[in-house]
Amino acid sequence: MSGSEATRLVVVQHSQGLHARPAEIVAKAAMLYRAKVEIVRDGYRVDAKSILNLLTLGATQGAELRIEAHGDDASDAVQALADLIESDFSDFD
């Protein structure tokens, strides 16, 4: 079934890592999609639609994250989140 599952590996680029502001931006972006979206770091899996959960990743610059989505718009969700996480979030600060 095409479009129902998508995965992408990304590396956090922001010098300050995924702190509160980027986590909020990522969570809000994830919430726009119908797909279930999760982010995995070293086997530790969290719901990408929750700021609190994203903060538990403690993802510093250089951290490798795997974005996984399941649902109709899974590939769009993964693409959007990958673009964000690999940006320096400078548009938002």
Partner 1 sequence: MKFSDFIVKDSIRAQIESTDKEGVIREMTAALKEADAVAENQFDSIVEAVLKREELGSTGIGRGVAVPHTKHPTVEQLCGTVAVSQSGVEFDSLDGEKVNLLFLLVSPPDRPGDHLRALENISRQLRDDSFCNFLKQSKTPEDIWQLLVEADNNQFGS
Single out the catalytic residue among 5, 8, 19, 63: 19
55 is an interface residue for partner 1 by CB under 8 A: yes
Output 51 or 82, the one with its CB closest to partner 1: 51
Q: Are 69 and 3 in contact (CB under 8 A)?
A: no
Q: Can you tell me the distance from the alpha carbon of 28 to that of 42, in angstroms, rounded to the nearest whole number?
A: 23
Rounded to whole angstroms, the Cα distance separating 37 from 33 reads 8
40 binds partner 1 (CB under 8 A): no
* Residues of the shown chain interacting with partner 1 in the complex, contacts defined by CB under 8 A: 15-21, 23-25, 27-28, 50-53, 55-60, 92-93
